Structure 1
Amino acid sequence: MSSSLASLLKQTHLDDHEEVLKQANAALKQSKGDLEAQHVKVVALLKLDRYEDALTALDAGGEKLNERATLEHAYALYKSGKPADAAELAHKNSQRGSQHVEAQARYRTEDFAIAADLYKELSSSRGNDLEADLRINSGAVDAQLEWSGRGDLVQKKKPGREDLDAFETAYNAACGSIARGELGQGEVLLRRAKDLCNSLEDMSDEEKQTELLPITVQHIYVLSRLGRIEEAEALAQHLKAEDIADAITRHIAKINNVAPKHDVNPFLAQRLVTTDLDSFNPDYPFQYQSTILKRNQYASELQALKYRGTADSTARTLSQQSLPTTNPFYTSLSVVNAAAHAKGQAGKEAIKQILSVLEKRPSDVGLILTIAQLYVLTGNANLALTLLESFLSRLEQSTNSTEQDVRFAPGLVGATVSLYDSQGRTSQARNELAKAARYWRRKPKERPAGHVHLFKAAGSALLESTAPEDIKLSREIFEELHNADKNDRYAAAGLLAASPDEASDSQIKSLTPIDRLVSGIDVDALESAGIAQPPSTISATTTKKRPAPEPKQKKAKKIRKSLIPKDYDPNKKPDPERWLPLRDRSTYKPKGKKAKARQALHSQGAVGNDSENSRPATPAADVVKQKQGGGGGGNKKKKGKGGKW
């Protein structure tokens, strides 16, 4: 019967998979152990998207069928929402089809680094008939690496011309740009993807609309981030979220439709975002999406003034994680917990409330960074630095490897170095970067995301040192970076600066030529503008000097009409002594005998005895003695009751 089924399938060209399944079931009725018929049935079920039924048929077929249909089994597991099992099974088979399935399964389990390596290996084979599909999938993996914070593994940062030929590759390139924070370029690429999709002639309008929906959702998000709220709202009005097939994308579309609006009811928004993410299976979100969605939920609860509930729920989640940790989910959760305890307050009042929480969780990285940020905002950068130094010192003294990793996490090191730089403490900043670089160079397999930027910052800082060991470490850092990526010009320039005597011709040629760097500089314009010139052997008399700038004439201040006297004459020069008292002016003429006599005392050569304007002289010693003598102060007047003291 097996041979008859095989001959039947060879002689006919059945496009109806239902008919193929019918013939396979008929063959299995005659012989239940027919391996060929079992295999045909599994393939037919997969073609009909009946993945659960295909798994059931594989289980019924036994070990022999599973050994023969490894690829089909792995694909059925992947499509049934079991990507981890699919990846493990596909990894045991070296066929190209199994590699495709494993790469897709790794992508879904967020093992993006492994998926990138698999697609790179698949793309390297010559005569590949799936080049377009591999380019699309590779672009999607690169975008996910950027979103998940592993952008250092992405070799292609800028989209090439081939990426702009199809809407799928243009969309993936846009997602990569958005993940890197290049929102302007991402918005341009999204428009390009829409235009390419609309121009396709081999797709129906319904199929085009299905493909455009996720692109539009991403476009609304980018416009909101760019502050173009009106455009985002106008685009959201034409979006029908109910038509999106993917459950999680549909949920994100509804949130993005509400997020740009400032007049939305916070209680209605809180009700919308408070959704159990497990209900979206098998279309569950990626981890970075779950983190953002959870953070949106807590933010909406804070806007709805649910401080107590938010503080309690976040505290329960944090208690399940051992601290310290640099996991983005838990560090962001700590920030929300701090905001809930602050109850909408900021500045010093918020610090008072959060410091009590720090006593309960002294190893909470997110909480410590929040307090440090509040210190900086209130002008207490010294307190922020003291807090970070104390925390890092405790971690550095620990023997726990996990705490040591947290101690030298690039984010914490960067925050500390930034505070050192703000206070001009260059040597401390350089030492901090050097310690972190030495630590991670000893652990090449456990380096976190962002270690490349940390190495570059450390290498540049060490170049400014005069110590030989610092220069040596800088050279080793840039040499490692250059060997890892020959196209990294920053690493090449750093290596050349650290060891100019050992520079090769290839290293020098990899740098931008000096002629190109200075081609757009107008030397004469810079010199005439007053650029400092280097010392010259020519005499000082022949050296060009910068002409002194002409003093700018100050504009006369306009006086309001209400302050101008009625008899004011702008052509008449005001009296310069108008601010002096009348009797101190040169034009003053006293009236009366007393006034004339007082004025005469102030004339040149006269002896002043103005009792009104001078202090009485000290009495002579004999006069003082006469006053002190006598019987007990008979001349003193008796102070009456109620007198002033």
Structure 2
Amino acid sequence: MVAQSLASLLQRASIDDHEEVLQSCNAVLAKSKSDLQAQHMKVVALLKLDRYDEALRTFEAGGDELKKSAGLEYAYASYKCGKLEQATEALTRTASGRGADHLEAQVRYRAEEFRRTAELYEQLLQNTTSHSHEINDLNINSWATDAQLQWKGEPEFVRHDRLSREDLESFETTYNAACLNIAKGAFKQGEVLLNRAQNICRTSEDLSPEDKAAELLPISVQYLYVLIRLGKLEEAEAVLKDISVEDIPELSTKKIARNNIVLARQTVANPFILYKALHETPDATDNDRLFDFQDRDLVGNAHATDLLVQKYDGIIRSTSKALSKRPSPSTDATTNLLSVYNAAAHAQGQTGSKALNQILPLLERRPTDLGLLLTVVQLYVNGGNTTSAIQAMERTLRILEESISEADQNARFNPGFLSVLVSLYQLEGRKVQIRTTLAQAATYWRTKPEPPASLLRAAAASLLHSEDRADLSTAGDLFQELHKQNPNDRLAIAGYVASQATLDYSQIESQLNALPQVSDLIADIDISALESAGVSPSASSAAAAAAAIAGARKRTAGADDRAHKRVRKSRLPKDFDPAKKADPERWLPVRDRSSYRPKGKKGKQRAAALTQGGVVDEKANEAASQQQKAAAGGGSNAKKNKKKGKR
């Protein structure tokens, strides 16, 4: 009886009667609850009807046997309900084939495992001979994955660079390419591509008017964001007319749209209106939730408005609760942003030393909170106290060094975290500390499977400035490792040559041909133009010029050869006229200048007595001598003839 009913069910099943299939399955299962084939058909019908929660409950009721026999359907139902780990496990355990690869790519994408997603799409694109109808969808999804890789900060894994002619004929691919450019910060190029995507969508003959409106909404929301970033607020106001937030079915897109609309209209004059506008849309859940980079920005905007309306206690409670569920230390951007807003709420709008007085006790209690630490460092630097900022970072580093946890060590040697410390060292000229810090980090990361190339490059370049042969040897090893990672990296080759040139020249002879010739590098440089523009020649070129004119007669530097120095106005006389030629004797005492003319009889006599090389007037000298004797002689007679003055 059950077999006949099921056979009848399968004969009557079609793509358009899923409700009837479901009713027939329920009728069969009412008589035999353990009928595996009927259960399988039921979950397929439920998935076709988009009743994913009910399908998942059917799987739970059917047990492991149903999950195993319908592994792909179970994984899909879990994926649509937002249970990504459960979906991944089901795919790994029971499902296989091209359909499973497609579903796994979707699950990995939603779980933000974009590198694995990109690998899956690349594998699927390599085998499209018998699946040519999938090529367009695969291109669309692979472009979207690359945009997400760029947003997540992994540009080295992005595969797409240029749009093909076929890509530009699809509004979905063009839109995803625009998102990739936006993630790179190329907003103008993103604006151009979004305009093209809108035009392609509007003129499409394959879409109904309702479908066009649904597809244009997210494009318009992204276009609004680009115009805000470009500062084109008037154009943004025009785009707002095409966006009906209430018509957006996805809560995640609706929340982003409302956020962009609030920013475009600049309703910051009244913070309470801004607060209300940003909190109108509830948070999305399950498979419709925001990606991490989107959620981080929107959470930041929400907390910023909380600060504007002075909800300090509420921010402290919510951020403290969230932080208690996250590991510490953490290099996760979202976690550290929570720490920043927690510190801002404790500061209650204060800045500078007043804010530090409120935040430093928090750092004493949470010394491994990197977000809090960087907030303290920023406040110290803003106040010009880089020494205290360095001491705060070094204190946390010492605490992390004592930990045996691998996560703590990864945080301690995190490239971004150490770049802050190196920048502070540079401000104070601590070259030895910079070299030591980078060398320790390079030593740690070289033991890991995927060491960060940027840190290894910085450490190797820093060690090149050392006079220690061991440091130069280490720099050579680092550059050699970078060369293995990327054989076309000329910087790695040049660094290896520079590090080994003084140690063992025979090791680098084979590498010299890989470096460009100096003449090729400077072929398009006009040396004369640089010198005329004020660029002085190097010491080596000056020495070469001196050797070239060896034997030439020396000459003294004239007045025109002196470098003209800019004189401050405070040093110039009030009546200074730059058009007039300065007096060449202005540095001599007044009486030594050729223009000096003494005044009065005594002045002329004094000038005559000081004359050197002139005609001597003997009579005048004799008269002057007689006067001096008369003034000096006479003894008591001179005293008697002197008139008495008043006492």
Classify the TM-score, shorter chain: 0.7 to 0.9
Which 5+ residue runs of structure 2 have no aligned equivalent?
576-595, 607-647
Match of 1:183 in 2: 187
Deviations 1:411-434 (A, max 9, x none): 221001112222333332222111
In structure 1, distance between residues paired with 2:223 and 2:336:
28
- Secondary structure in 2 aligned to 1:259? helix
Match of 1:569 in 2: none
Say if 1:8 and 1:338 are closer, same or farther in 2 by CA, change over 3 A. Answer: closer
In structure 1, distance between residues paired with 2:520 and 2:159:
24
Letter in 1 for 2:369: D
Q: How does 1:256-271 map to 2 (within 5 A)?
A: 256-264=260-268, 265-271=270-276
Letter in 2 for 1:243: D
User: Aligned to 1:98, which of 74, 97, 100?
Assistant: 100
Letter in 1 for 2:135: E
Letter in 2 for 1:314: T
- Secondary structure in 1 aligned to 2:288? coil
Which 5+ residue runs of structure 1 have no aligned equivalent?
558-562, 565-585, 590-598, 606-645
Q: How does 1:284-303 map to 2 (within 5 A)?
A: 284-303=289-308
Paired-residue identity, % = 44
In structure 2, distance between residues paired with 1:542 and 1:5:
111
In structure 2, distance between residues paired with 1:283 and 1:48:
18
Match of 2:578 in 1: none
User: Aligned to 1:144, which of 138, 145, 148?
Assistant: 148
Q: 2:55 touches 2:77 (CA, 8 Å); kept in 1?
A: yes
- Secondary structure in 2 aligned to 1:444? coil
Match of 2:233 in 1: 229
Deviations 1:479-532 (A, max 9, x none): 3334334555554554565568657989966x7787875564445534554652
Match of 2:435 in 1: 430
Establish whether residue 200 from structure 1 lines up as the match of residue 204 from structure 2.
yes
Say if 1:69 and 1:404 are closer, same or farther in 2 by CA, change over 3 A. Answer: closer
Deviations 1:614-635 (A, max 9, x none): xxxxxxxxxxxxxxxxxxxxxx
In structure 2, distance between residues paired with 1:379 and 1:62:
65
Say if 1:187 and 1:518 are closer, same or farther in 2 by CA, change over 3 A. Answer: farther
Say if 1:376 and 1:285 are closer, same or farther in 2 by CA, change over 3 A. Answer: same
Match of 2:549 in 1: 539
Say if 1:438 and 1:299 are closer, same or farther in 2 by CA, change over 3 A. Answer: same
In structure 2, distance between residues paired with 1:521 and 1:276:
58
Give the drift of 1:210.
1.4
Match of 1:158 in 2: 161
Say if 1:355 and 1:192 are closer, same or farther in 2 by CA, change over 3 A. Answer: same
Say if 1:157 and 1:276 are closer, same or farther in 2 by CA, change over 3 A. Answer: same
Give the drift of 1:227.
2.9
Q: Is the deviation greater in 221-230 or in 71-80? A: 221-230
Say if 1:52 and 1:488 are closer, same or farther in 2 by CA, change over 3 A. Answer: farther
Match of 1:314 in 2: 319
Q: 1:91 touches 1:99 (CA, 8 Å); kept in 2?
A: no
- Secondary structure in 2 aligned to 1:469? helix
Letter in 1 for 2:529: A
In structure 1, distance between residues paired with 2:346 and 2:13:
73
- Secondary structure in 2 aligned to 1:442? coil
Say if 1:486 and 1:214 are closer, same or farther in 2 by CA, change over 3 A. Answer: farther
Give the drift of 1:240.
1.0
User: Aligned to 2:277, which of 269, 272, 283?
Assistant: 272
Say if 1:55 and 1:457 are closer, same or farther in 2 by CA, change over 3 A. Answer: same
Establish whether residue 168 from structure 1 lines up as the match of residue 172 from structure 2.
yes
Q: 1:479 touches 1:495 (CA, 8 Å); kept in 2?
A: yes
Matched residue count: 563
Q: 2:363 touches 2:373 (CA, 8 Å); kept in 1?
A: yes
Match of 1:367 in 2: 372
Match of 2:345 in 1: 340
Give the drift of 1:330.
2.6
Match of 2:389 in 1: 384
Match of 2:619 in 1: none
Deviations 1:219-258 (A, max 9, x none): 2223223333333333234311111111111011111111
- Secondary structure in 2 aligned to 1:270? helix
Give the drift of 1:266.
0.8
Q: 1:277 touches 1:284 (CA, 8 Å); kept in 2?
A: no
Give the drift of 1:299.
0.6
Q: How does 1:110-129 map to 2 (within 5 A)?
A: 110-125=112-127, 127=129, 129=131
TM-score w.r.t. the length of structure 2 is 0.74
In structure 1, distance between residues paired with 2:601 and 2:263:
86
Say if 1:207 and 1:126 are closer, same or farther in 2 by CA, change over 3 A. Answer: closer
Letter in 2 for 1:367: L
Give the alignment's Cα RMSD to 1 decimal: 4.3
Say if 1:38 and 1:385 are closer, same or farther in 2 by CA, change over 3 A. Answer: closer
Q: How does 1:544-583 map to 2 (within 5 A)?
A: none
In structure 2, distance between residues paired with 1:504 and 1:156:
35
TM-score w.r.t. the length of structure 1 is 0.74
In structure 1, distance between residues paired with 2:386 and 2:70:
64
- Secondary structure in 2 aligned to 1:324? coil
Q: 1:2 touches 1:34 (CA, 8 Å); kept in 2?
A: no
In structure 2, distance between residues paired with 1:136 and 1:176:
12
Match of 2:583 in 1: none
Deviations 1:368-410 (A, max 9, x none): 2122222222222233223223332333244444333222111
Give the drift of 1:98.
1.6
Match of 2:613 in 1: none
In structure 1, distance between residues paired with 2:368 and 2:15:
66
